[in-house]
Amino acid sequence: MKFPPTSLKAKFFIVLVFFYKKMFPKTRLCSLHSTNVNWDAIVFNAFKSDLSFYENRNDWISFRPINLNAKNQNLINLMLSVQSIVIHVRRGDFLSSKYCDILANIATLGYYQKAIELIKGRFSASHFFVFSDDIEWCKSHLSIPNDTVYVDWNTGKDSYIDLYLMTHAKANIIANSTFSYWGAYLNKNNPIVIYPKKWINANYYPNIFPVDWIGLTSE
């Protein structure tokens, strides 16, 4: 699941802003400080987000209108009508040599099973919806009811639709992934959110989790 690639123009602009600020640190035209934000022009680095940027500002970012096909619209209607639990599992690039050491073996099978059991204790009639770049692994390994919906039809340039769909659940079980994170954070249904308390394989704990989210370990 990937967003459309960042354009070269956008990358060039970001580099210009960064070096301009370094050359003129007292300028008020832009800021690199997390608590002094120009909301008319803000750029996020996926690995350097901080809750101080956007906490209590749920109105500052939203999806543009999306023309959904009938299958996706019907899925949203179903999610809104039941006790919908979204599970997002990211494998794919997290298992590659490039990212394995820093990101793999965090949102483990043990973590997901603990999260599923916790949710079952909160919701009397849980209805699960699974999003993943490895649906077959999810079908083989996750212990969830037979009527679970495995969302596997939004691929390629349409992958971003999965992010939009995840914002309609009553609860989100996320991976240590920004795709997962924003699918939960942009959810306007005041959902229960469960996340891996360990986010990366390093001595670093990002300040990105609201206080009412539930952090779990895999043990």
Give the whole-angstrom CA distance, residue 14 versus residue 172.
32
CB atoms within 10 A of CB 154: 21
Q: How confident is the model at residue 2 (pLDDT cuts 50, 70, 90)?
A: very low
More confident residue, 8 or 134: 134
Task: Read off the pLDDT of residues 142-163 as tens digits, 9 standing for 90 and up.
Answer: 999 888 999 999 999 999 999 9
Task: Read off the pLDDT of residues 37-94 as tens digits, 9 standing for 90 and up.
Answer: 555 556 665 556 778 777 776 667 788 889 999 999 999 999 999 999 999 999 988 8
Q: Where in the chain is the domain with CATH 3.40.50?
A: 70-216
Q: What is the pLDDT of residue 33?
A: 54
- Rg of the chain over CA atoms, in angstroms? 18
Task: Read off the pLDDT of residues 79-103 as tens digits, 9 standing for 90 and up.
Answer: 999 999 999 999 988 888 888 888 8
Q: What is the pLDDT of residue 3?
A: 46
Q: What is the pLDDT of residue 61?
A: 77
**Predicted model pTM:** 0.80
- Are the beta carbons of 130 and 151 closer than 8 angstroms? yes
Half-sphere exposure at residue 123, Cβ-oriented, CA atoms within 13 angstroms = 20
Give the whole-angstrom CA distance, residue 171 versus residue 210.
14
Whether 32 has a pLDDT exceeding 60, the answer reads no
Task: Read off the pLDDT of residues 104-146 as tens digits, 9 standing for 90 and up.
Answer: 888 999 999 999 999 999 998 899 999 999 999 999 999 998 8
Give me the architecture of the 70-216 domain, per CATH.
3-Layer(aba) Sandwich (3.40)
Q: What is the pLDDT of residue 47?
A: 56
Whether 182 has a pLDDT exceeding 70, the answer reads yes
Give the whole-angstrom CA distance, residue 45 versus residue 190.
26
Whether 164 has a pLDDT exceeding 60, the answer reads yes
